[in-house]
Amino acid sequence: MDQLDEQERAGARDDGPGGRGTELPRPRHDGAAQPLPGAAGIYLEVQRSPAFQEVRRRYRRFVFPATLAFLAWYLAYVVAATAAPGLMARPVAGAVNVAMVAGLGQFLTTFVLTWAYARHARLRRDRAALELRWDTQQMTRGAGQW
Amino acid sequence: MVTGDHQTLALVLFSAFVAVTLGITTWVSRNRHGSAEEFYAGGRLFSPMENGFAIAGDYMSAASFLGISGLIALYGYDGMLYSVGFLVAWLVVLLLVAELVRNCGRFTLADVVAARMAERPVRIAAGTSSVAVSVLYLVAQMVGAGSLVALLLGGTGEAARTWTVIGVGALMVIYVSLGGMRATTWIQIVKAVLLMAGTIALTVLVLIRFHGDVNSLLSTAAERSGHGTAFLGPGLRYGGDWTARLDFISLGLALVLGTAGLPHILSRFYTVPTARAARRSVVWSIGLIGGFYLMTIVLGFGAAALIGSAEVRASNASGNTAVPLLALDLGGGAGSTGGTVLFAVVAAVAFATILAVVAGITLASSASVAHDLYASLRRPGRKGYGEVAVARVAAAVIGAVAIGLGLLASDLNVAFLVGLAFAVAASANLPVLLYSLFWRRFTTRGAVWSVYGGLVPAVLLVLLSPVVSGSPEALFPGLDLQVFPLQNPGLVSIPLGFLAGWLGTVTSPEPPDEARHAETEVRALTGAGAA
């Protein structure tokens, strides 16, 4: 874990000029409004590129259904607890009843979904996103944005 | 239940915590540069694990530690519903918010929205709602601090309460304005470790009492609660008429959607170098927070089983003393050394918890004031003060306001204030954030409308609710303005926030800015040009 953390920090430092640091001019945040037409064109170009579309598709394909699923499951749980206490009070084993199982189920699904998302992002998205990041930064630098 | 020994030991432990954290504050600020990067984001070089602990320390308040266990000890299963809501909310943060916000913004929520909109109106709107949420949350913590002292140290007198609120406020202003994000983060990390260690110790002791048999823990709890098996199912607290049930659904909605709009949580993602690190810090914090809430369930049922609901209620009507009483019992009972030590540890951990949470919120709201409001509202052309200097002053002013309001509102219910802060965050901050990140056609008017369209109804509905007037427990029992039946406005105001954002966008005269949307989207998903 520590080793990975080190990589993370080193990665940040390796961004070089423009990636971080406050001393460089930053048109957007200094209130000087519009980016240069060149830079704006680059972002549109990257947005339309197949590589970016693929990264976005992978992200949305995982995140949207997963969000709908866990919100539905949580709302079902809250509504069942308030509207159907009889159902929730049914015993399952010993002192454990349906409500207890459902509550612990919420904890379990949260942990599982967290793990699944982190894994999906690491294996399916991180590398492609990083490459796009370098390419985009190279292009914007070339356009004189930074 | 309280003797001189408890008080002395608790005070010693708490003073040690204050000394250590003040030491940290001085040490980390010894050669600080005074840049905005340093003050608001701690230089952005925390590791995911450090930030994960700090997020957990920012989020787990004394209200959860004492309040939720107490609710479970009194009402059984219904208390558990809170734990579930507080945890599931983190999935919204992890999946939809953390990485994208890290990539798009610099210090605040308004940064993300302003990146693709007309900067000034959007910053003023988002800055205002961020400050509103923070102040509500801050008052809740200050009121909590006052009651906690009265509760744990027996100093039920007004003076002890007043001085505690002033003391907590003064300490947090010192931490924040001298140490900025770096000191705040370390205080939160220390607090998270202490809180987890204390909770683990108590949980293990409870489980040892029952020889690891959860079934016998639950049945003993049900037996000694006086409610029988009904104690293990929902309905004891929120099972009344339909208004009460709807109120609970409203609260559940606010809890799960509010976390992702809390300014002090969002600002934590800026303290790590990359979006990947932000994701991994959320994974750490979900592990810590989930573990913590699972343990509060054991502590709650443990208190019911070992102390009994009646005795918990006799000590404090809302159950806040359940965990301290449990600690006393687990250590060997009143008067024993073990009991004294455990009780003092619980009291000190609870104080540390309040200090850390309060420092985090103060820092986030001072960032909103200086970075969003001051920068947008000051007259252009005039020479202004440096942003960090403004932020330091803002921290002191917000501290003073929070002390004042905390003293005025000392009789308000803490859980209600927290629920309200979550409802306002979910109605005013979450819609604008999600629309900016995911909706191509979103416009400046949509952004401004969605902030005010969530903020104004949320606040108005509370003013017209039974909390403020028209019921015997209301803030102004003599008055009757009550029109809205629910205590928590979330069920109505959250959809209104989303609706207003949509309405503002489709009625916009100006078309959305394609190029700046492209920039936001590319930056959000790849991290190109991230601060």
Q: Is the Cβ pair B522, A77 closer than 8 Å?
A: no
Q: What is the CATH number of domain B4-22+35-377+384-526?
A: 1.20.1730.10
Q: Are B526 and A55 in contact (CB under 8 A)?
A: yes
Q: Nearest Cβ partner of B234 from A44, A88, A126?
A: A88
What are the structure tokens assigned to B380, written together? 């252009």
Name the DSSP class of B270: G
Q: Are A74 and A67 in contact (CB under 8 A)?
A: no
Distance separating alpha carbons of residues B531 and B522, to the nearest angstrom? 14
E-strand spans in B150-280? none
ipTM: 0.91
What are the structure tokens assigned to B351, written together? 């104080």
User: In angstroms, what is the C-alpha Rg of chain B?
Assistant: 23
Q: Is the Cβ pair B522, A43 closer than 8 Å?
A: yes
B335 sits in the region (left: phi over 0; alpha: psi -120 to 50; else beta) called: left
Q: Which of B252, B225, B227 is nearest to B238 (CA)?
A: B252
Q: Nearest Cβ partner of B48 from A5, A41, A63?
A: A5
Q: Which residues of B touch A127 (CB under 8 A)?
A: none
- The residue in chain A having the minimum alpha-carbon distance to the alpha carbon of residue B33 is A22
pLDDT in tens, chain B (531 residues): 445 666 778 778 888 888 888 888 788 777 666 788 888 898 888 999 999 999 999 998 877 788 888 889 998 888 888 899 999 999 999 999 999 999 998 899 999 999 888 889 999 999 999 999 998 888 888 887 777 777 766 655 677 778 878 888 888 888 888 888 988 999 899 999 999 999 999 999 999 999 988 889 998 998 888 888 888 888 887 777 888 888 889 989 999 999 999 999 999 999 999 999 999 999 999 999 999 999 999 999 999 999 888 888 887 777 778 888 898 888 887 778 888 888 888 888 888 888 888 889 999 999 999 989 988 887 666 666 788 889 999 999 998 988 888 887 776 667 677 878 899 999 999 999 999 999 999 999 999 999 999 999 998 998 888 877 777 766 677 777 778 888 889 999 999 999 999 999 999 988 888 889 999 999 999 988 887
Q: Which B residues 4-63 touch A at CB under 8 Å?
A: 35-37, 44-45, 47-49
Q: Which of B288, B68, B284 is nearest to B200 (CA)?
A: B288
Predicted TM-score (pTM) of this structure: 0.89
